[in-house]
Amino acid sequence: MGDDVVAEIGPGLLIFLGVVRGDTKETAEWMARKTLSIRIFADEKQAMNLSVVDIAGSLLAVSQFTLAAETRRGNRPSYSSAAESADAERLYDHYVETLRRETNQVETGSFGSDMRVALENDGPVTILLDHE
């Protein structure tokens, strides 16, 4: 890919999506609904009370298997809980399709590629969504 820009968005959410063994289409749908509805943007009183949909924000979904890193033992992360690549790609695609059913402001990275991702974080606010 070189220095090609695959996707970019304005105000909204950069989503790093990690898929682990045992995740299902239902998991992907729950995560997409939660992504669209979580109230983490400031309202007129500066309270975190608005969703990305409320602010008409964009979404950039990037696959990130390293989120499945297990680090409790030793100094080298284990990725044994990460889903197999084909399963992860299928669920990543389903997650993105679910988002797109609600908004047309969804961009994606290139699944499984080595990418440089730049972020200007306003806040900073970083939220971990976990389905467990």
Domain boundaries, the chain: 12-108
Which residue in 27, 35, 66, 71 is the catalytic one?
66
Chain mean pLDDT for the chain: 91
| 10: CB partners within 8 A, 6+ apart | 57, 58
30-84: per-residue pLDDT in tens? 999 999 999 999 999 999 999 999 999 999 999 999 899 999 999 999 999 999 9
Alpha carbon distance 20, 68 (integer Å): 6
User: Is 35 designated active site?
Assistant: no
Q: Are 51 and 45 in contact (CB under 8 A)?
A: no
Phi, psi of 27 (to 5 degrees): -60, -45
The predicted pLDDT at position 45 comes to 96
- At 77, phi and psi to the nearest 5? -60, 145
Supply the CATH classification number for the domain 12-108. Answer: 3.50.80.10
